[in-house]
Amino acid sequence: MADVKKIATRESYGNALKELGETAKDMVVLDADLAGATKTGVFKKAFPDRHFDCGIAEANMMDVAAGLSTMGLVPFASTFAMFAAGRAYEQVRNTIGYPHLNVKIGATHGGISVGEDGASHQCCEDFALMRTIPGMTVLCPADDVEARQMVKAAYEMKGPVYMRFGRAATPVIHGEDFHFQIGKGEVLAEGGDVAVIATGIMVPEAVEAAKLLAEKGVSAMVINMATIKPLDRDLVVAAAKKCGRVVTVEEHTILGGLGEAVCGVLAEEYPVPVKRIGVNDEFGHSGPAAALLAAMGLDAAGITKTTLAFLGK
């Protein structure tokens, strides 16, 4: 995919905030001293009076966002996923989730593709943490186009939203005619031997894996599941009925994330064999993003190898 345009979804987040801010006058953006890294600095430059740097105090930032939302504003609280979901979990749960406030959380630098920052900053537990908060919508875009539309959709819905964006540049797989809907998955490739359900930057890898699988005589359906919660249950069940076997792929621990969400639906409605591909029960490591993904079997080659083994090929 060397000739494909690549953009980090954190860049998309910053650009979407600025674009949305032109018309959404009730929108404010908060940051925890990371405006350059989270790309909210783009919004700050355009609308300095609506950007608030809360300093390296993520828990306090979430409380400030909660308070602003009670005044009729729509706050986007932004920091690294490790700090948004991890350090500030109690505030997100009790101050935003419990009263079901209209706060949007923009969590950048999710997953092991944070790279050289190492395990302390590689948040691979955020889906699991945020999924357990009642009423929290959890989103993760596949590329620039979907990320920009996701920010707008989050603004338009009422209630708390957690959005994960990546540090590493990822291929743009959608055209500008794409339309994102919260709670709806998207079939990117048709197939009948196995359904590969992926989220975030794993989606382009899953698309490439489907091509490699085709060379081995395996027809794979590829689904982009950008909404982790609420999951598109109908599409998950339909894919299982058509293919009989399901593989999930996420840049997240296999505990509590997309894979377990899919398994929960299928266990209740249409049990089939499922293979979860993700970060196994371990912390990440420091190194280049691409090398880390390959080492953990999260690149196209790794997904292909694991899927073939799962199918007994």
What is the arrangement of strands in the sheet containing 220-224, beginning at the earlier edge strand?
186-189, 220-224, 194-198, 246-253, 274-279
pLDDT score of 284? 86
Residue 1 has pLDDT above 80, yes or no: no
Report which DSSP code applies to 165.
-
Catalytic residue ranges: 58
Query: Which tens digits make up the pLDDT trace of 33-63?
Result: 999 999 999 999 999 999 999 999 999 999 9
**Residue 210 in tokens:** 């489907």
Residue 138 counted as domain residue: yes
**Are residue 191 and residue 165 in the same domain, yes or no?**
no
Beta-carbon count within 10 A of 212 CB = 17
Using 50, 70 and 90 to split pLDDT, how confident is the model at 140?
Answer: very high
Share of the chain above pLDDT 70, in %: 99
pTM over 0.85? The answer is yes
| Distance in angstroms (rounded) separating the CA atoms of residues 189 and 33 | 41
237 and 216 Cβ atoms separated by less than 8 Å? no
Domain-terminating residue out of 138, 171, 204: 171
CB 105 within 8 A of CB 160: yes
More confidently predicted of 2 and 220: 220
54/128 same-domain check: yes
On whether both 126 and 65 belong to a single domain, the answer is: yes
Question: How many Å is the Cα radius of gyration of the chain?
Answer: 19
Is 218 in the same domain as 271? yes
Residue 2: pLDDT above 60?
no
Residue 176 lies in a domain: no
Does residue 179 lie in a domain region? no
Q: How confident is the model at residue 114 (pLDDT cuts 50, 70, 90)?
A: confident
Handedness of CA 152, 155, 156, 162 (dihedral sign): positive
CATH of residue 128: 3.40.50.970
Q: Are 111 and 230 in a shared domain? A: no
Residue 46 sits in the same domain as residue 152: yes
Burial class (CB in 10 A: 0-12, 13-18, 19+), 55: exposed
| Number of domains, the chain | 2
pLDDT band per the 50, 70, 90 thresholds, residue 121: very high
Structure tokens that stand for 73 in this block: 């504003």
Structural element, H or E, at residue 90: helix 89-91
What the block records as the tokens of 149 is: 């539309």
Judgement on whether residues 32 and 118 belong to the same structural domain of the protein = yes
Residues 119 and 264 in one domain: no
Give mean pLDDT, residues 258-273. 98
| Predicted pLDDT at 118 | 86
Read off the tokens for 49: 């009076």
Q: How confident is the model at residue 120 (pLDDT cuts 50, 70, 90)?
A: confident
Mean pLDDT taken over the chain:
96
**Quick check: 293 pLDDT over 80?**
yes
User: 289 or 16: whose pLDDT is higher?
Assistant: 16
Q: Is the peptide bond before 134 cis (omega within 30 degrees of 0)?
A: no
Q: What CATH number is attached to the domain comprising 231?
A: 3.40.50.920
Q: Judge whether 50 and 21 are in contact, CB under 8 Å.
A: yes
Residue with tokens 């783009």: 42
pLDDT at 3 over 70: no
Tell me, yes or no, whether 259 lies in a domain. Answer: yes
Residues 114 and 226 in one domain: no
Q: Domain of 241?
A: 186-311
Q: Is residue 193 part of a domain?
A: yes
Cα–Cα distance, 59 to 1 (Å, whole number): 39
165 and 213, same structural domain?
no
CB atoms under 10 Å from CB of 83, counted, come to 23
Residue 178 domain-assigned (yes or no): no
Q: Are 140 and 115 within 8 A, CB to CB?
A: no
Residues 13, 19, 22, CA angle at the centre, nearest 5°? 140
| CA 161 – CA 135 distance, rounded (Å) | 9
141 in the same domain as 13: yes
Of 127, 143, 171, the one marking the end of a domain is 171
Same domain, 155 and 196: no
* Cα–Cα distance for residue pair 22/105, rounded to 1 Å: 20
The answer to whether residue 181 is domain-embedded is no
| Neighbour count for residue 101 (Cβ, 10 Å) | 19
